[in-house]
Amino acid sequence: MIQSFSSPDIYGKQMAQLAEEKMSQFVNLMDRFDTLDWPKIKNLVTVGIWDVSRAMEITNHIRRYEKTDKKPGDIPGLEYLLRAAIGPSIRLAEKLGGITGLGSMVFEPEMSIDEFQYYNPDIMIIGFKEGNFGRMSGNPRKGKTSNSCLLIERWNGKGNIALSNIYKKEETNKYIYVKNARDLFTMISDMPRKVPFIFIYDEGGLSYSKLHSSTIHSRYMNEVARIIGKLYGNMLYIDQIPEACPETIQKFSTNTFHAIEPGRMYIELKGPYKFRRTLRNIPQTTLPYDTRDIAYFDSKDLNVEGMFSYISGTENPYDSMSEYLEMKESIPKAARKEAKEKVESTTEGI
């Protein structure tokens, strides 16, 4: 006998598949909880929580904090309240609402995942003009550094300068390697003045922790971000957890990237470019970076606050920075010459 498509067996399989899809969407969303804003949290409660008392409990949290400068990721316990409420709600929706109930749980409208190649190839760099900040987050070994190197390739292809503490396995003039603050600002002081630049800072949590923000190391890293923005440069900060992000980056980032897994990335752009989408088949970078390098960036080797004070109020901050590095930091001429040659190599043909 031919079995009907409306048979209990087929219907059960459809239900199981839909429930799995909804749970996968929710788990993927919570993996980047620190990137969520209050409208997204309110939508989660609306479509995802069937228990009225639980929904009201979380709604009260939202009302208490959404008018403050706190983000959902800053609220203790909110992530776990959502996790505890939505799992049972999926099972309740399956039991009481069937396919219609599960179908109404639209956690991520943008999760109709598109191919990366469908979009403007500059989608990752379009939000970096001058003085813009961005974050690349994700769990370990999910493709954060590879995605960032992909951004470097596109940035370099536009004739712009990229600097990074991502260590090179072999030489490439696509970006300039800087291992500490002295390297970074020595290079910046010798760059052509009208060429856009970006600093890609890998493994930020090794050098900065909001939990220890009063230390010189962490305070200097916040100053590094501020100075780069003041000089019309851009900065992309690569991290695993929100506690590892300087306040300047956290407050002013308009470019958010989250590596879900290798080849799959969530992109959210704010400001003039409104974009929120999960893309798949993200290509691997061709840059020869060392994926096993620790990528520690030392900010204590340079008196960042002293330099910030020195260039403040001057007509040409680049020249003032150059003077400070020579006079106060005693960076030898040979090192300055080497920095200039690296910059010229990277900008050759621009």
**Average pLDDT for residues 153-162, to the nearest whole number?**
93
Round the average pLDDT of the chain to a whole number and report it: 82
CB 150 within 8 A of CB 283: yes
**Which phi and psi angles does 134 have, rounded to 5°?**
-150, 165
CA–CA distance, 186 with 89 (Å, rounded to integer): 56
pLDDT in tens, 332-343: 666 666 777 777
Q: Can you tell me which residue has the tokens 């980032």?
A: 253
Higher pLDDT, 195 or 167: 167
DSSP string, 320-346: HHHHHHHHTS---HHHHHHHHHHHHHH
- CATH code at 114-346: 3.40.50
242-279 pLDDT, tens digit per residue, is 556 777 787 888 998 988 889 988 888 987 888 888 88
Question: Rounded CA gap, 144 and 13, in Å?
Answer: 35
Q: Tell me the percentage of the chain whose pLDDT exceeds 70.
A: 86
The ranges assigned to domains in the chain are 8-97, 114-346
Could you report the per-residue pLDDT of 46-79, keeping only the tens digit for each? 888 888 888 998 999 899 998 888 889 888 889 9
Q: Do the strands 234-238 and 253-261 form a parallel or antiparallel pair, or are they unpaired?
A: unpaired
The pLDDT of residue 14 is 63
pLDDT for 81: 92
Which of 90-99, 121-130, 286-295, 337-346 shows the lowest mean pLDDT across its residues?
A: 337-346
Res. 5: pLDDT tops 70: no
Distance in angstroms (rounded) separating the CA atoms of residues 276 and 141:
23
120's CB contacts (< 8 A; 6+ apart) are: 126
pTM, whole model, 2 decimals?
0.71
CA separation for the pair 338, 253 (Å, rounded): 32
